[in-house]
Structure 1
Amino acid sequence: MVCFCFLVDQRRKVKRSKPVAGTCSRCRCSASVADMITQTRFCYIPFYWKSWKAIICTFCGAMLKSYR
């Protein structure tokens, strides 16, 4: 029996963002609310997209809260 394994990866991209009141709990820099897109690919071919919102730090890039 032969079994093939294919590469599956997932990428997160920021579509747009705007500043929000508050600071990051890790580095104390400003935060922003962003529209995010998660793209899942199978053998370099995208087959699943999901859009959601998240509050992220503008300096260190930490995700502080997500709204899925």
Structure 2
Amino acid sequence: MVCICFLVDQRRTKRNMKPVAATCSRCGSSAKVADIETSTRFCKIPFHWKSRKAIVCTFCGATLKSYA
């Protein structure tokens, strides 16, 4: 019996963070709006990218609201 396993991973990067008039509901810290890029890789070769905007807490990193 042969078992072949492939590595699939997903990376998220935050770009262009701008301050917004909001506070985090979890920790009470300030929040920023950020462009978030998600790239999915299959055996170290990227094959899918997705970009979205989200409001992110600057202290705990929680995503408060996400936009398509």
Q: Name the structure 2 match of 1:50.
A: 50
Q: Name the structure 2 match of 1:8.
A: 8
Q: Distance in 1 between matches of 2:28 and 2:59?
A: 9
Listed as ranges, the gaps of 5+ residues in structure 1 are none
User: Over the residues paired in the alignment, what is the CA RMSD in angstroms?
Assistant: 1.1
Taking structure 2 as the reference length, the TM-score comes to: 0.92
Q: Distance in 2 between matches of 1:40 and 1:16?
A: 21
Q: Distance in 2 between matches of 1:56 and 1:22?
A: 10
**Are 1:17 and 2:17 matched, yes or no?**
yes
Cα distance, 1:20 vs. partner? Answer: 0.2
The percentage of counterpart residues that share the same residue type is 72
Q: Name the structure 2 match of 1:38.
A: 38
Taking structure 1 as the reference length, the TM-score comes to: 0.92
